[in-house]
Amino acid sequence: MSVLAYDLGAGSGRAILGHLNDRGIETREIHRFKNEPVKTGDRMHWDILRLHHEVLQGLTFIKQQGEVPESMGIDSWGVDFGLLGSNGELLGNPYHYRDTQFNGVMDTVCQEITAKRVFERTGIQFLPFNTLYQLAALKRSASPLLREAERFLMIPDLLRYFLTGEAVNEFTNATTTQLYNPVLGQWDRELLAYIGVSEQWFGDAVLPGSAVGQLRSSICHDIGLAPIPVLAVAEHDTGSAVAAVPATERSFAYLSCGTWSLMGTELDQPVISAESMELNFTNEGGAGGTYRLLKNIMGLWILQECMRQWEREGQGISYGSLLAKAETAPAFASLFDPDDALFLPSGNMTERIRQYCQKTGQRVPEDQGSIARAILESLALKYRRVLEWTEQLSEKTFGGLHMVGGGIQNELLCQWTANSIGKPVWAGPAEGSAIGNMAVQWIASGTFKDIWEARRAIRDSFPVSEYEPQDRSAWADAYERFLRITVLSPGTE
């Protein structure tokens, strides 16, 4: 039986059809599209109507190809949202989580109600763009949006609403807001009251796999499709990606590698402790009653921003050529903490990397290869640090690291990650989020018994590349230097 998965990342989206037969899972890309944020004045928005249009385009291609999926689901990046007014229409264009209007609000909120209280109630890591701080910022600036709002929907909830007319909040994405209390299993009233938004805006969060409507008749009519049931999947893309990790062992470490790098392990319960708060780990809700104890790492965003900058400056370079240059650039010449707040907003990344290296008394990388090398080595070194913390917090030792997501196409990064952590890396599948999205649909239909049966099928259907650690002593020396340098740098952890 086939199912349709839409997976929207911060840079691009795709519609992928999954088919399950005797040979296992087969996937076919139906549509791929850009997701380009739009700046108006000082504000940064998602082009949500364009995204809805692309979702409809995907359905048109489904029709043209004569496919009849039995269900469909949408996942996307977390934390961002839209608000509906009294007439059920979207108020304004959703903001992008990197919009600078949210700067500084986290610190104020955490002083006022204390970080401890926020963490105890949600178990979610402190990231300045969490929905909690976005809403608090809008409240503080007396945004007219909040005066008119009657309903709150996360991005996949909203796109699903456009398709079905049903406004429903989904659990995994709800947990990314830092407004959802996993212990009580509901939106946190105290936090909502503190930021001054009505609890009426929020519906009970439904679990991945729930049926939440079907394509509106007007859409079916326009495209010429029979109604397709729309399911809530693990609508947070990281939740879908981790559902697709082809692990055989119950306790495993993963790295979902894309614009962001999300590293951690899967547990049955959130770990809400002084130590997890101290290390700023998160406990995001996942598929099948799981929680992800993980940490955000800035990820390939830094490299992507450099590439966009070079493109603007007329020095565009292909990914392949850049990685070839990185490979031959001097090793470990310029190391930095990718999670320094400096690298969060969009803008002149190459300059910021140079600034960081200057401040920490290192070689300042000038050419494209040296900059790319600095980024990839620094990421690989940060992965080691976060993996060690994951082991410490979960009181487990991992035999290797599963990497999923588009970032695994960067073989240099996979190899350097193995070198840095001193353990094997198992890379695959690249379309982790879309495949995890499908897996939840197949669990909902009873095709798979549970997430473990789905993982077994994923493991048997998609290639996994293994990277063995190399150059151990050079990487161990670099790690010692990395730790010294990142302690020196301002604004880290």
- Closer residue to ligand LRH, CB minimum distance, 246 or 406: 406
Q: Does 214 bind ligand LRH (CB under 6 A)?
A: no
Q: Which stretch binds ligand LRH (CB under 6 A): 101-109, 236-244, 317-325, 414-422?
A: 236-244
Residues 240-259 within binding reach of ligand LRH (CB under 6 A):
259
Specify the residue for token string 């200057």. 358
Q: Does 296 bind ligand LRH (CB under 6 A)?
A: yes
Q: Does 97 bind ligand LRH (CB under 6 A)?
A: yes
- Closer residue to ligand LRH, CB minimum distance, 338 or 469: 338
Residues 8-37 within binding reach of ligand LRH (CB under 6 A):
9-10
The torsion region of residue 477 among left (phi > 0), alpha (psi -120 to 50) and beta comes to alpha
**Across the strands, what pairs with 262?**
256, 296
| Closest distance to ligand LRH from the beta carbon of 440 (Å) | 16
- Strand 12-21 and strand 2-8: the pairing is antiparallel
DSSP string, 334-378: S---TTSGGGSSSS-HHHHHHHHHHHTT-----SHHHHHHHHHHH
The C-alpha atoms of residue 323 and residue 326 are separated, in whole angstroms, by: 5
| Closest distance to ligand LRH from the beta carbon of 397 (Å) | 25
Is residue 257 a contact partner of residue 402, using CB atoms and an 8 Å limit?
no
Q: Does 122 bind ligand LRH (CB under 6 A)?
A: no
Q: Does 178 bind ligand LRH (CB under 6 A)?
A: no
Q: Does 180 bind ligand LRH (CB under 6 A)?
A: no
The C-alpha atoms of residue 132 and residue 127 are separated, in whole angstroms, by: 10
C-alpha pair distances (Å), 322 with each of 10, 171, 179, 258, 319: 21, 39, 41, 17, 5
The torsion region of residue 124 among left (phi > 0), alpha (psi -120 to 50) and beta comes to beta
| Closest distance to ligand LRH from the beta carbon of 292 (Å) | 9
Give the residue, chosen from 13, 69, 78, 270, that forms a contact with ligand LRH under the rule CB under 6 A: 78
| Closest distance to ligand LRH from the beta carbon of 131 (Å) | 10
Amino acid at 259: T
C-alpha pair distances (Å), 457 with each of 231, 248, 429, 490: 21, 11, 12, 46
- Closer residue to ligand LRH, CB minimum distance, 7 or 54: 7
Number of residues in contact with ligand LRH under rule CB under 6 A: 13
Q: How far is CA 54 from the centre of its chain?
A: 20
| Closest distance to ligand LRH from the beta carbon of 259 (Å) | 6
The C-alpha atoms of residue 321 and residue 200 are separated, in whole angstroms, by: 52
Q: Does 171 bind ligand LRH (CB under 6 A)?
A: no
Residue among 75, 99, 237, 337 flagged as catalytic: 237
Q: List, in order, residues 6 or more apart from 438 with CB less than 8 Å away.
A: 3, 5, 16, 18, 25, 27, 73
Give the residue, chosen from 131, 172, 238, 370, that forms a contact with ligand LRH under the rule CB under 6 A: 238
The C-alpha atoms of residue 96 and residue 371 are separated, in whole angstroms, by: 27
Q: Does 94 bind ligand LRH (CB under 6 A)?
A: no
- Closer residue to ligand LRH, CB minimum distance, 35 or 461: 35
The C-alpha atoms of residue 166 and residue 417 are separated, in whole angstroms, by: 43
Q: Does 126 bind ligand LRH (CB under 6 A)?
A: no
- Closer residue to ligand LRH, CB minimum distance, 79 or 485: 79
Q: Does 448 bind ligand LRH (CB under 6 A)?
A: no
Catalytic residue status for 340: no
Q: Does 432 bind ligand LRH (CB under 6 A)?
A: no
- Closer residue to ligand LRH, CB minimum distance, 77 or 133: 77
Q: Does 77 bind ligand LRH (CB under 6 A)?
A: yes
| Closest distance to ligand LRH from the beta carbon of 129 (Å) | 7
Tokens representing 68 are 């009849």
| Closest distance to ligand LRH from the beta carbon of 262 (Å) | 5
- Closer residue to ligand LRH, CB minimum distance, 175 or 419: 175
What are the catalytic residues?
237
Give contact residues for ligand LRH (rule: CB under 6 A). 9-10, 77-79, 97, 236-238, 259-260, 262, 296
